[in-house]
């Protein structure tokens, strides 16, 4: 058993874990943050995506011990004070989710992407999404959600910007 | 899955043959073999560990039975290996052909692979098995050269 | 009555929970003392199971129990036959259903051999290695044609054959049609296996409360009520002692309507024996073997046509792979058989199929459920016939359509619901014209395509049409209750796997009662809330459950009007339901809120008139006489690189008719998602089994699901032909997108390559297309 100290959505957790415990299992079952989903456990579907120090990672391909000393952000950390993050709101308005299982993974992939590319083209959006699988929506509304978000949250360099960021 | 080829070895067929029957030498010819002991006149048992793609160390229990034994020309190895990552079984025909100062070892193996190894490592099976055979034959060659002086 | 919500693009009420990660899926269920299950599964596809020795596993620390078939005692039995064979004369059917743990024999790779229950999934998986198995491999039966050759190994010895079923349906006299034909087009078609691959794998959690004597099961099933009923019977409990909850489900697509899977049957049994909650969650690799699949068929089909392209008759002989067992009866091949007729007048039809057992995972319906095979065969035959006759592909379809004045149209054969295949309504020519206009077919063929060819670019267009039988019985039910708070509760037995039932069903009820859609709280998939019904499958949820919701809401509306008219001393015609209140027409400030009315309808003093019921509540059921027929046309433009065989989809058009639309957002999204699924089936997804029944691509690394780069945004248009078979006039849409994609794809790619190749197989991967191009033709003899 190994002691680890991990920050998740701004809260620090100290736990003792087995070396082989996957980060996805640690988040879901040890910390009860079940918003992060497990779809394949071999790093392809992207449903398990979380942010590690702001960068998207596949939590099914990491061990909890590897997160020791780092800061994680999961889908539970996106909304503040019960209000949806503007990206979540955009997903809602464009009907970008059906069963919703893959949705947290898409959101966590998109949050850092949109910080780097506040005004992405459709091709750039689809490329950014290509590491996340969805079996329900056929992706079209997810693309629309990103476009809608980008249109109402333009580049900070070009004017006003929502403060909802990483 | 079929793998076949030819490989030159030092020494006359009889000498090569006798060394091939030695479990310690045979073990060197199969990379990843951990243990191999002769448990009968034409039977060997042991364990081996192999890495294929996403599976880093698949452990197998191995049983090899020799049939159609015709010293020093040819024999067939019946291979039956099983482990938590799947199984591999089949037959390998080995023919020794004298040539000059050495012996050409001709082999043809037809293996059926199943379980996780087949399902996850499929694209790599061909290349991994070729690599293992090459490594094994090179090791065999070194071993023969050392023992035969 | 207002129609504020019906037909409106209402945003989904269930989104917030899903977006914030707070929605509960089965793996999110966490109970004190919960144990975890791992299954030992066979690596061999076919074998004699001599011995399973779990003693070393039982001794491992952290392992609470290990069960083999022998440990199940009387509980071990094959599962129920879910769908009986159809009442078709001359039919042959050999029933063989799956077993909870293999005993004596293993019939497909992945079949469970033992169940380990431990303190954690990690420990349970460790213990799998401790189990010693003596499994003698037998030669496996895999190919469809090989399965019937003499001397081949038998999957089920008791039948003396690998034949699972034989069915022939005919209409008219094909032989005479053929004799009169100007041309007969014959081909062999192959359609290979694929997985549903929902993002959420299956899972079961069970908890036995010994004090209350109640069993609660959380299950990723599309059919919680039949599971409740079956499990109660299996475990010797009353139905009222068992509660099955299908919470949020991460995609169904068909395999989750397969019932009494080994794991579903064993986990609750173990929970009762061990007195602790037990959880099993399938991992992705297991899903490739342990969850049902679909699609392998071989068709030898021919089309007899007149000189003007009119269909005289179709003959089809096909083989269907049912896998190692056939618990779902003949639903899939019957769908293929019936859907082949499509929207066309086919005067003579002779269709015969033979289902065979193979040593591969079980086949049950997966989105499309066999319809896509029928569509592929018919659409391809029409394409080849058009070519032979020198007719335009769109024209040959136009000439053969059933006309709008020919409904109801009786196809004179039996459908998968064992009712006659009668189309209720539709306007097939209108759908075709809209699709042709939207894709710009004529301009494409006469201008764009030749212009592109001059530049060395190979563009092609494909236009195909299809029928999708939806909305089958038996029935569904719903209960609507107005609570004193003014909230309207709606409970129905179907489950939800992303179809938006929490919103669409609320829309139906909100309109009837004049409340806002947000005031309607919907409960689906919980047998304690509603215990009568079948499940979500075959594109029937909106039609059947929707109609039941409508009926229940209508009855509550009548009660509201009745009570309000007595209270307010007005006749019902003078009353209006709006804004959550009932008031005199023209005087919105008068009247009473629905909540108040509900309170008054349930007095603590006074009397309730004999013959009436307290409260404002009603339960109603809807059972359609037969299924209805939705239809559509798909058109796509592709660009093919003839050197690399890479295919890019430039445009994708769908014109769809699912009758009256409850929520256009939901309908359009179902089509877009279905098309993505269809594109996967057509070009990327194929389960590759080798001759010994081993699956060679059991992961997403090698079983390729389409990504955002592979699926275009579908351009949509609608035709609305209301169904006379239900009060809403609606038809199903869940599978439509996935059904004709393969046929459209094949036609478009052939067109792009100037018909240098013939595509008669699905899926058509880049590698395979390359091979065909190299060989300069098709696999035809």
d(CA C57, CA C372): 46
**Chains contacting A (3+ CB pairs below 8 angstroms):** C
- What's the whole-number mean pLDDT along residues C155-170? 97
Q: Is C654 within 8 Å of chain A by CB?
A: no
User: What domains, with CATH codes, occur in chain B?
Assistant: 2-148 (3.30.530.20)
Among residues C8, C18, C17, C131, the alpha carbon closest in space to that of C69 is found at C131
- Domain boundary among the residues C267, C290, C313 is at C290
Residue C8 lies in a domain: no
Check whether C478 has a pLDDT greater than 50.
yes
* Number of structural domains found in chain C: 3
Testing the interface with C: which of A27, A136, A149 to mutate, by most C Cβ within 10 A?
A: A136
Q: b/e for C157-190, b at 16 or more Cβ within 10 A?
A: eeeebbbbbbbbbebeebeebbeebeebbebbbb
| C321 shares a domain with C263 | no
Contact across the interface for B84 and C697, Cβ inside 8 Å: no
**What are the tens digits of pLDDT across the range B1-59?**
888 999 999 889 998 999 889 998 888 888 889 999 999 989 999 999 988 777 777 88
Check whether C502 has a pLDDT greater than 90.
yes
| C358 shares a domain with C420 | yes
Residue C130 lies in a domain: yes
Candidates B54, B114, B122; nearest CB to C43: B114
Using CA coordinates, name the residue in chain C closest to B1. Answer: C690
| C597 shares a domain with C491 | yes
For residue A63, the distance in angstroms to the closest alpha carbon of chain C comes to 13
- What's the whole-number mean pLDDT along residues B137-144? 88
Token pair for residue C661?
């639309």
Residue C189 lies in a domain: no
d(CA B48, CA B29): 12
| C436 shares a domain with C541 | no
Among residues C755, C1, C746, the alpha carbon closest in space to that of C376 is found at C746
**What are the tens digits of pLDDT across the range C594-634?**
999 999 999 888 777 777 889 999 999 999 989 999 999 99
CA-based angle C340:C341:C345, to the nearest 5?
Answer: 155
Residue C326 lies in a domain: yes
What value does the mean pLDDT of chain A take?
Answer: 93
* Residue C80, domain CATH: 3.90.1170.50
- Domain boundary among the residues C622, C639, C668 is at C622
Terminal Cα distance for chain C, rounded: 64
| C673 shares a domain with C581 | no
* Residue C591, domain CATH: 3.30.365.10
| C266 shares a domain with C223 | yes
**What are the tens digits of pLDDT across the range B64-113?**
999 999 999 999 999 999 998 899 999 999 999 998 889 999 999 998 99
Contact across the interface for C199 and A75, Cβ inside 8 Å: no
Contact across the interface for B122 and C44, Cβ inside 8 Å: no
pLDDT above 70 as % of chain A: 93
- Please identify among residues 185-204 of chain C the ones whose CB lies closer than 8 Å to any CB of chain A: 197-201
Q: Which residues of B touch C135 (CB under 8 A)?
A: none
Candidates C109, C128, C702; nearest CB to B122: C702
In total, chain B counts a number of residues equal to: 149
Chain position carrying tokens 């006149």: B41
Contact across the interface for A98 and C676, Cβ inside 8 Å: no
- Domain boundary among the residues C237, C266, C290 is at C290
Candidates C284, C665, C666; nearest CB to A40: C284
In sequence order, the 6+-apart residues with CB closer than 8 A to the CB of C90 are: C166, C168
Terminal Cα distance for chain B, rounded: 36
| C615 shares a domain with C490 | yes
For residue A61, the distance in angstroms to the closest alpha carbon of chain C comes to 14
Q: Is C32 within 8 Å of chain A by CB?
A: no
Q: Which residues of A touch C199 (CB under 8 A)?
A: 37, 39, 45, 47, 99, 101-102, 133-136
| C630 shares a domain with C569 | no
Contact across the interface for A99 and C250, Cβ inside 8 Å: yes
Using CA coordinates, name the residue in chain C closest to B118. Answer: C696
Residue C311 lies in a domain: yes
Contact across the interface for B119 and C695, Cβ inside 8 Å: yes
**What are the tens digits of pLDDT across the range A123-142?**
999 999 999 999 999 999 99
**What are the tens digits of pLDDT across the range C701-735?**
999 999 999 999 999 999 999 999 999 999 999 99
| C332 shares a domain with C244 | no
Residue C162 lies in a domain: no
Contact across the interface for C43 and B86, Cβ inside 8 Å: yes
**What are the tens digits of pLDDT across the range C67-112?**
999 999 999 999 999 999 989 999 999 999 999 999 999 999 999 9
Residue C693 lies in a domain: yes
For residue C714, the distance in angstroms to the closest alpha carbon of chain A comes to 8
pLDDT tier for residue C538 given thresholds of 50, 70 and 90: confident
Residue C94 lies in a domain: yes
For residue C765, the distance in angstroms to the closest alpha carbon of chain A comes to 19
Contact across the interface for B118 and C695, Cβ inside 8 Å: yes
Chain position carrying tokens 């070194």: B142
- Please identify among residues 720-749 of chain C the ones whose CB lies closer than 8 Å to any CB of chain A: 737
Owning domain of residue C233: 31-138+199-251+256-290
Contact across the interface for A95 and C27, Cβ inside 8 Å: no
d(CA C553, CA C620): 9
What value does the mean pLDDT of chain C take?
Answer: 95
pLDDT value at residue C250: 97
Check whether C776 has a pLDDT greater than 80.
no
Instruction: Count chain A–chain C contacts defined by CB atoms under 8 A.
Output: 173
| C466 shares a domain with C514 | no
| C69 shares a domain with C125 | yes
pLDDT value at residue A164: 39
| C538 shares a domain with C488 | yes
Q: Are C261 and C202 in contact (CB under 8 A)?
A: yes
Rounded to two decimals, the ipTM of the complex is 0.95
Look up the pTM and report it.
Answer: 0.94
Candidates B54, B89, B119; nearest CB to C696: B119
Candidates B86, B89, B120; nearest CB to C699: B120
Check whether A18 has a pLDDT greater than 70.
yes
Check whether A158 has a pLDDT greater than 90.
no
């Amino acid at each position: 058993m190994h002691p680890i100290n991990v920050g998740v959505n701004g809260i620090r957790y100290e736990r003792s874990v087995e070396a082989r415990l996957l980060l996805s299992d640690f988040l879901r079952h040890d910390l009860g943050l079940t918003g992060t989903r497990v779809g394949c456990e071999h790093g392809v579907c992207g449903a398990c995506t979380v942010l590690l120090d702001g960068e998207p990672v596949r939590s099914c391909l990491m061990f909890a011990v590897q997160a020791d000393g780092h800061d994680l952000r999961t889908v539970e950390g996106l909304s503040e004070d019960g209000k949806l993050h503007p990206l979540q709101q955009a997903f809602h308005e464009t009907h970008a989710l059906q069963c919703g299982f893959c949705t947290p993974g898409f959101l966590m992939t998109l949050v850092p992407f949109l910080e780097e590319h506040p005004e992405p083209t459709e091709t750039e959006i689809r490329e950014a999404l290509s590491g996340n699988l969805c079996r329900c929506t056929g992706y079209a509304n997810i693309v629309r959600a990103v476009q809608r978000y980008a249109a109402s949250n333009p580049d900070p360099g070009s004017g006003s910007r929502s403060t909802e960021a990483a | 899955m079929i793998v076949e080829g030819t490989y030159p070895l030092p020494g006359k067929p009889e000498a090569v043959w006798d060394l091939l029957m030695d479990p310690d030498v045979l073990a060197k010819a199969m990379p990843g073999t951990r243990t191999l002991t002769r448990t009968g006149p034409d039977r060997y048992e042991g364990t081996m560990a192999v890495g294929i793609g996403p599976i880093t160390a698949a452990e197998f229990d191995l049983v090899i039975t020799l049939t159609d034994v015709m010293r020093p020309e040819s024999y067939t190895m019946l291979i039956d290996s099983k482990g938590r990552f799947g199984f591999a079984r089949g037959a390998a025909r080995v023919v020794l052909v004298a040539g000059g100062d050495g012996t050409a070892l001709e082999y043809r193996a037809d293996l059926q692979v199943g379980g996780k190894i087949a399902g996850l490592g499929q694209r790599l099976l061909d290349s991994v098995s070729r690599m293992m055979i090459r490594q094994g034959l090179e090791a065999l060659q070194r071993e023969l050269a050392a023992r035969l002086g | 009555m207002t129609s504020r919500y019906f037909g409106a693009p209402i945003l989904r009420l269930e989104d917030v929970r899903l977006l914030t990660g707070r929605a509960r899926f089965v793996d999110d269920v966490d109970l004190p003392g919960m144990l975890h299950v791992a299954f030992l599964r066979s690596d061999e596809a076919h074998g004699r199971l001599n011995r399973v020795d779990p003693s070393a596993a039982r001794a491992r620390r952290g392992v609470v129990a290990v069960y083999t078939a022998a440990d199940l005692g009387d509980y071990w039995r094959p599962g129920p036959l879910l769908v009986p064979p159809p009442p078709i004369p001359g039919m042959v059917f050999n029933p063989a259903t799956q077993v909870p743990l293999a005993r004596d024999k293993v019939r497909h790779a992945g079949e469970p051999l033992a169940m380990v229950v431990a303190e954690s999934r990690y420990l349970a998986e460790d213990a799998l290695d401790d189990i010693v198995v003596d499994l003698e491999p037998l030669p496996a039966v895999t190919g469809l044609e090989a399965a019937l050759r003499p001397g081949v190994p038998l999957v089920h010895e008791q039948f003396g054959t690998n034949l699972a079923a034989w069915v022939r349906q005919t209409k008219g006299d094909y032989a005479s049609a053929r004799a009169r034909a100007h041309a007969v087009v014959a081909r062999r078609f192959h359609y290979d296996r694929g997985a549903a691959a929902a993002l959420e794998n299956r899972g079961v959690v069970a908890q036995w409360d010994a004090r209350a004597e109640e069993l609660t099961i959380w299950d990723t099933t599309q059919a919680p009520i039949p599971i409740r009923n079956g499990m109660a019977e299996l475990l010797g409990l009353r139905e009222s002692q068992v509660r099955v909850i299908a919470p949020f489900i991460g995609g169904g697509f068909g395999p989750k309507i397969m019932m009494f899977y080994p794991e579903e049957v064993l986990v609750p049994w173990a929970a009762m024996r061990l007195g602790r909650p037990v959880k099993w969650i399938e991992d992705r690799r297991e899903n490739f073997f342990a969850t049902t699949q679909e699609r392998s068929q071989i068709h030898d089909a021919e089309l007899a046509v007149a000189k003007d392209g009119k269909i005289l008759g179709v003959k089809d002989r096909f083989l269907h792979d049912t896998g190692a067992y056939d618990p779902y009866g003949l639903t899939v091949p019957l769908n293929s058989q019936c859907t082949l007729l499509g929207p066309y007048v086919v005067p003579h039809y002779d269709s015969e199929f033979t289902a065979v057992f193979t040593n591969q995972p079980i086949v049950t319906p997966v989105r499309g459920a066999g319809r896509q095979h029928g569509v592929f065969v018919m659409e391809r035959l029409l394409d080849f016939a058009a070519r032979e006759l020198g007719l335009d592909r769109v024209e040959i379809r136009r000439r053969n359509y059933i006309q709008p004045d020919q409904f109801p149209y009786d196809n004179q054969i039996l459908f998968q619901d064992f009712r006659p295949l009668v189309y209720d309504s539709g306007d097939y020519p209108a759908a075709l014209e809209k699709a042709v206009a939207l894709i710009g077919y004529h301009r494409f063929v006469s201008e764009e395509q030749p212009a592109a060819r001059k530049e060395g670019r190979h563009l092609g267009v494909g236009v195909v049409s299809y029928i999708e039988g939806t909305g089958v019985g038996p029935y569904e039910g719903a209960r609507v209750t107005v609570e004193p708070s003014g909230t309207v509760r709606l409970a129905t037995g179907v489950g939800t796997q992303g179809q938006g039932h929490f919103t669409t069903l609320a829309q139906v009820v909100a309109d009837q009662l004049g409340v806002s859609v947000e005031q309607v709280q919907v409960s689906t998939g919980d047998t304690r809330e509603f215990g009568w019904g079948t499940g979500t499958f075959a594109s029937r949820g909106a039609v059947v459950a929707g109609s039941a919701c409508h009926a229940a809401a209508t009855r509550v509306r009548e009660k509201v009007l009745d009570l309000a008219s007595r209270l307010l001393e007005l006749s019902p015609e003078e009353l209006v339901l709006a804004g959550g209140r009932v008031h005199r027409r023209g005087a919105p400030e008068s009247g009473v809120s629905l909540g108040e009315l509900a309170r008054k309808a349930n007095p603590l003093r006074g009397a309730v008139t004999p013959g009436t019921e307290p409260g404002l509540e009603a339960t109603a059921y809807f059972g359609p006489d037969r299924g209805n027929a939705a239809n559509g046309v798909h058109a796509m433009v592709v660009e093919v690189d003839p050197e690399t065989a890479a295919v890019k989809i430039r445009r994708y058009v769908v014109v769809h008719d699912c009758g009256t639309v409850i929520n256009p957002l939901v309908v359009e999204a179902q089509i877009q998602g279905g098309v993505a699924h269809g594109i996967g089936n057509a070009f990327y997804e194929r389960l590759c089994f080798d001759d010994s029944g081993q699956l060679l691509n059991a992961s997403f690394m090698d079983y390729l699901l389409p990504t955002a780069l592979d699926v275009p945004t579908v351009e949509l248009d609608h035709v609305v032909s209301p169904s006379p078979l239900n009060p809403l006039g609606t038809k199903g849409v869940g599978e439509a997108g996935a059904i004709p994609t393969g046929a459209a794809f094949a036609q478009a790619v052939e067109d792009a390559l100037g018909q240098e190749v013939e595509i008669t197989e699905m899926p058509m991967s880049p590698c395979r297309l390359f091979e065909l191009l190299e060989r300069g033709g098709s696999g035809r003899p």
